[in-house]
Every structure is written in C-alpha cells, then in structure tokens.
Chains A and B, each alone.
Chain A
C-alpha cells in the first residue's frame, strides 16, 4: 500500500501539464525578444539559435499532445536563452571608429539590465523588462483566488469560480446560474429559470392541456374540455359514469342505459326522455311516449282507470253487455301498449247488500272472470292477479243507491312496473 502511494506520488510529481509548458514558453519567447534586442544575434548566435529552435520544438510537441517532450525542449531553451542574455549583456559597441574620416563616435548610453532599453529610457535599469512595461519586469500572472484561472484571464481575480459546470471559464462565480432569483444551492433546476414556489424549476404543462402541471391533477393526461369538470386537468371519458364512453353517449352528462344510447328514461317506457313528449308518463312510441288515449280507459301512474263499470249478471260472475266487452278490449290494449306495467291486480268489490261471505266470494269470482276475459284477449296471465275484496273496501256510502252503485266496481291497480 505504501509502495503504491509512493509510486503514485512519484508519477504525479513527474506529470507536466500543457498549461505549464505553455506558460514557460511565453516567458522564453519574451526572453528571446529581449536577447535579440541586446544583440544576441551577434554576441551569442549559437545560444539564440538553440533557444529559438527548442522553443519551436516545444510548441510542436505541445500541438502533438506530448507535453513531457515539450518540457524537455523548454528546459533546453531556458538554459540557452539565459546564456544568450548573459553573453549579450555587454554586446553593444562602446566605441566605433570610422577609418576614412577622423571621427570617433562614443556611445555613452548603457543598458545595464540588457533588456534592449537604454538606461535613460528604462524605468527599471537594473531589472530587465519589455518596452511596453517601461523596461520593468512583468510579473508572472498569479491566481489570487486559487480557482485555477490565472489572474490575467480571470474576470474576478479575487473571487473563486464556483466550478459548477456553468460558465466556469470566466473565473467569476455564478451563484444563480439561471438568474431566477433562487440561489443554485436551493434551486432544484439551477440552469432553468423557475419561480421560487416551484423550487426554481420551470412550471411545465407536460400534457399541453393549458393547465400547468402544478395545478393539473393528471399532468400526463390532457383534459378533454367537454364542459364537464374541465378545471381539474383530468380527462372525464364517461362524465355520467353510466358505463358508456362520452364519445358513444348521446347524453354524456345524464346516466342512461346503453340501449337508449346512454340517455335517461324516467317513465321507463323505452323512449329516452329527450325524445319523449311525456317523459314522466309512460306511453307507446306511436304516441311519442305519451299515454295512449282510449275512449273508456286512462292509464295513470298507479292504475288503469275505467270510465264506466263492467257489468255482471245479478248475483253472478258472468260479464254482460257490449259496453263491458269494449271496456275489457281497451284494458287489454292498454296492457299491451304499456309494456312497463309488469303486473296489475284485478280487484272485485261489492256493496254491502247481502251476506258478507257471499259478497266476498262473488267479488273473487267476478275478478277471476275479468282476468279470464283478458287472458282471452291475449294479455299475459303472468302480468295479472285477481283478488276479491267483497264489501270491505267501499269508496262511497252504502246508505244511498248512488253510493252503492259506486261501491260495486272492478279496479285495475298497477302493483309492479
């Protein structure tokens, strides 16, 4: 383990980054310019050539991505240029004698630091530096904030870059990348602007139904906008929940059976209310859902009323008279027309004249007689029952002849529909 750590350390120490080599080559380049100005071409040509060539080699190696070989050349260039500068220090001619004319030109100006700028013009005569800096040395770029970006390219040299993958090259930290007012540390979507109530993330409408996801109960399903509960963001495919999808439902907001295309039928006459002229009174289709008008019979909610009474022979259950037959025909027709009437009770009633037991038996026989007549008229016997009540259920006074006549009666009461 120790050996591994040691070898890792040695390897890391040996690593040379391209950035380092580039930085050194910039320094050497400026030294070469300085040496040339000092007359290195004349006083140290070999050293100057060696420095220039090695700098060129280093740059070539960098371009090839071999920074370590580039570093070797940089070192050679460094040594050579230092020698060149040293040799060029006193390179300038102190005196020139022109043979043909007896003139002696004395050069009294000096360049002590050998930076190519005469001492009289050099702000730092003892320290070499480029002309653009008045002959004073340029300070090597530093990294005051230690963010790895040198101060000369760092727009915020005293504030370290936050290195969060967003504009990390400028050297300035971006505490709120998306400028949405929610600091990146608390922003769930630091690179996408969004309101604080959504923790910095943009409010979206994924299903594109015009209701933002934060208010959409079904953010992945678009609201169907059919005028029924359109604010919750959820599609309502069967508004009335009658089992028939709205697309196939003629009455999507009112529950109804499938055979009526989802439309309700309050009077259960098989005609949907919207097509039923009398939605609360059952009736056949030929009457547009209204009760059929019979001459002697009226179908109400509770009973089939007969306008005239069925007549029987005295003390007998035998039905007599043509009018009685007409009444029975119409009752049978009403039963056939009103299929919603599942069952009727044919009730026989008498007045109080005579023996109670006899009257009870007579009323039962008469009810049976009516039921038989209706069966003969093709009314399903399963839809009927016959009950004789005798004189037990009078509807008028038995003290008068008119009252007794009212009490002698046959009723057709609906017991199931």
Chain B
C-alpha cells in the first residue's frame, strides 16, 4: 500500500506508456499481496485466480510493448485482487461466527 501514492504521483507526472503500465503493475502487485495475506487463495478462489492471471498477462503485454493493454490488464488485476481480499475477509469472519444454516 505504501507504494500507491508514489506510483500515482508517477502517473500524474508522466503520460508515458511504459511508466504508466509499470505504476499500475506495482499497484496490482501490492493488492495481490494484500489478498494473499487475507487467504484469498482459499476463501475467494475465483477473484484470486483472476487477479493473478491478469497480473501475469499485463506483464506479458509490457514485454510486447503493448502498454495500453498492459495498463488495462493491470487495472483488472488490481480490481480482482481488491475483491479477493474483501471476499476472503468476509469469509473468515463468517467462519469465526457460525452461520445458522449449513450447506452439506
């Protein structure tokens, strides 16, 4: 999270493709790490998988110098990572407080 302000400043200062995509990738990476900490891999597998796939694809697009696509995918990765973290946190809270109905 501490990288976010710096990367935003970097985006504001420059409209350059490589710089922008790198900044968004950094933000996505931060969010993915946060989701991992919240055990998203176990409790929000759909969002977790999506976040990681988009993150990898974004890096691949940087390799092809397709910065527009890279930014787009990095943003999606970030969005899924945030959702993954939130869902994982909700699920762990539920586990801690047993629900009235049980699904076998």
Q: Return chain A residues, CB-CB under 8 Å to B72.
A: 60
Kindly identify, within residues 42 to 97 of chain A, every residue whose CB is under 8 Å from any CB belonging to chain B: 45-46, 48-50, 52-54, 56-57, 60, 64, 93, 95-97
Task: Please pick, from A41, A56, A57, A99, the residue contacting B102 in the complex, using a CB distance under 8 A.
Answer: A99
The 8 Å CB contact of A93, one of B45, B47, B103, is: B103
Query: Are A45 and B53 in contact (CB-based, < 8 A)?
Result: no
Q: Does any Cβ of A come within 8 Å of B50's Cβ?
A: yes
Interface of A is mostly: helix
Number of cross-chain contacts by CB at 8 Å: 47
B49 contacts which of A46, A56, A99 (Cβ < 8 Å)? A46
Q: Tell whether A49 pairs with B66 under 8 Å between CB atoms, given A95-B104, A99-B102.
A: no
- With a cutoff of 8 Å between Cβ atoms, the chain B residues found around residue A95 in the complex are 104
Q: Which of B48-96 contact A (CB under 8 A)?
A: 48-50, 53-54, 57, 66, 69, 72-73, 76
Name which residue of chain B comes closest to A98, CB basis.
B101
Residues of A with C-beta under 8 A to B101: 96-100
Whether B5 sits at the interface, judged by CB under 8 Å, is: no
Q: Nearest Cβ distance between residue A417 and chain B, in whole angstroms?
A: 102
Contact status of A45 and B46, CB under 8 A, knowing A95-B104, A96-B101, A98-B101? yes
Apart from A45-B49, A98-B100, list 8 A-B contacts with CB within 8 A: A46-B45, A49-B47, A52-B50, A53-B53, A56-B76, A60-B69, A93-B104, A99-B102
Q: Pick 22 A–B contacts, CB within 8 A, sort by A.
A: A41-B46, A46-B49, A48-B46, A49-B46, A49-B47, A49-B53, A53-B50, A54-B53, A56-B76, A57-B57, A57-B73, A60-B69, A60-B73, A93-B103, A95-B104, A96-B103, A97-B101, A98-B100, A99-B100, A99-B101, A100-B100, A100-B101
9 pairs of A and B residues whose beta carbons are closest in the complex: A45-B46, A49-B49, A53-B53, A45-B45, A49-B50, A46-B49, A49-B46, A98-B101, A46-B45
